[in-house]
């Protein structure tokens, strides 16, 4: 989940080798037993529980902001850095509820989405409209892994330099978002061409530079107006704070938010195997191109919180609330066994996955 930066699209161009053979898993036939189990075994845990969502989101946000204030105010430097790390991880968790919001059924938990935008989305200049309506494309069977998918690049089939560039570009995300809301939004209000460009290119949390967002959907228009207005006002509050509080608060905040963006980009890097060259895929193939990092390891809960350590499972059942994914995983493992197709999407951790993708890119190290 990374904001689409104004960068040269050629830097992330898809491999053009006509002779490259796509891995067979990208053409895997659908495993009907697995799909049936995913449909039938988890019906009783498929509803979001407000008693889990609300305290998780609010406590994460409050801890994050309190730690951020501490990082700005305290001495010595080591304590400020420690509080900055706590702030980053807590705000990262709070921010990732944007993914849950994008999968709520229309009208469900509307107050949660509104309060999340006030507490997290607008203050972090990542309101929910930047995911709502766009993220669902990533789950459409005929568009997943194609050029129309905003959240897919065949990273495993690209050149080695693409991986560090993919991660490091995230450092620019906070500044890019500040520019979007402080400069492009008011200019777009006066100049329709800028407004269309901003919406098309810089209004979705996309990693595919070829993606162009279609005109705003009618059911989002009201949300977009108020969220962009909030982002515009808050961005100028941040800029104006320099003249009142000095540079330190905003620089510390930008550093914390850049760290959040990089961690999220690393999570994105290992959310899929990125082995599709643009062809439509079966549901099972999409599942096998996605990644679960299940227990017993606990570190994945830090870099892939709010259910995102079960990203492959999420692609089987996109509307399943995050708090139900661990139980859904246990049920499917128990019903299908470790020799099933389901087990093929389970991986040991971030390091193993990064190494796998890097090895794939090293086979294409010649050329630019």
Q: How does pLDDT run across 64-123, given as a tens digit for each residue?
A: 999 999 999 999 999 999 999 999 999 999 999 999 999 998 878 989 999 999 999 999
Closest CA to 91 of 261, 244, 252, 208: 261
Q: Tell me the residue length of the chain.
A: 368
Longest dimension (CA), the chain: 62
94 near 120, Cβ under 8 Å? Answer: yes
pLDDT for res 18: 31
pLDDT for res 339: 85
Q: Rounded mean pLDDT of the chain?
A: 90
Closest CA to 3 of 304, 213, 274: 213
pLDDT for res 295: 93
pLDDT for res 367: 44
Residue 256's contacts (CB-CB under 8 Å, 6 or more residues apart) are 68, 71, 84, 87, 88, 91
For the chain, which residues make up each domain, given as ranges? 29-362
| Confidence at 2, pLDDT banded by 50, 70, 90 | very low
Quick check: pTM over 0.85?
A: yes
Average pLDDT rounded to a whole number, residues 200-227 = 93
Phi, psi of 272, rounded to the nearest 5 degrees: -140, 170
Cα dihedral sign, 80-235-308-22: negative
Q: How does pLDDT run across 312-324, given as a tens digit for each residue?
A: 999 999 999 999 9
Average pLDDT rounded to a whole number, residues 180-202 = 97
pLDDT for res 27: 63
Q: Percent of the chain scored above 90 by pLDDT?
A: 82
Residue 10 pLDDT exceeds 90: no
110 near 12, Cβ under 8 Å? Answer: no
Average pLDDT rounded to a whole number, residues 257-268 = 98
């Amino acid at each position: 989940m990374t904001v689409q930066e104004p960068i040269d699209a050629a830097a992330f161009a898809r491999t053009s080798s006509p002779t490259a053979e796509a891995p067979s898993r990208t053409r895997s036939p659908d495993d009907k037993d697995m799909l049936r189990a995913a449909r039938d075994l988890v019906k009783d845990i498929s509803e979001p529980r407000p008693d889990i969502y609300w305290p998780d989101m609010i406590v994460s946000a409050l801890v994050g902001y309190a730690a951020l204030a501490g990082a700005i105010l305290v001495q010595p430097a080591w304590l400020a850095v420690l509080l900055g790390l706590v702030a980053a991880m807590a705000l990262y968790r709070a921010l990732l509820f944007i993914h849950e919001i994008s999968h709520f059924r229309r009208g469900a938990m509307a107050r949660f989405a509104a309060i999340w935008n006030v507490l997290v989305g607008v203050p972090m200049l990542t309101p929910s409209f930047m995911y709502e309506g766009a993220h669902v494309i990533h789950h459409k069977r005929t568009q997943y892994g194609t050029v129309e998918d905003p959240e897919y690049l065949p990273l495993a089939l690209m050149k080695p330099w693409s991986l560090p560039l993919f991660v490091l570009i995230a450092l620019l995300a906070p500044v890019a978002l500040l520019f979007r809301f402080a400069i492009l939004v008011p200019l777009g209000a006066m100049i329709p061409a800028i407004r269309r460009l901003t919406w098309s290119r810089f209004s979705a949390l996309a990693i595919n530079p070829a993606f162009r967002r279609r005109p705003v959907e009618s059911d989002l228009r009201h949300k977009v107006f108020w969220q962009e207005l909030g982002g515009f006002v808050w961005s100028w509050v941040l800029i104006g704070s320099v003249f009142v509080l000095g540079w330190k608060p905003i620089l510390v905040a930008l550093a914390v938010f850049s760290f959040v963006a990089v961690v999220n980009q690393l999570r994105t890097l290992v959310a899929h195997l990125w082995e599709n060259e643009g062809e439509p895929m079966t549901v099972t193939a999409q599942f096998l191109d996605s990644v679960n990092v299940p227990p017993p390891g606990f570190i994945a809960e830090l870099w892939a919180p709010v259910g995102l350590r079960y990203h492959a499972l999420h692609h089987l059942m996109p509307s399943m609330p995050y708090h139900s994914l661990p139980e859904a995983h246990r049920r499917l493992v128990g019903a299908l066994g470790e020799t099933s197709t389901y087990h093929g999407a389970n991986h040991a951790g971030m390091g193993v996955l990064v190494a796998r993708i890097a090895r794939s890119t090293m086979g294409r190290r010649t050329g630019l």
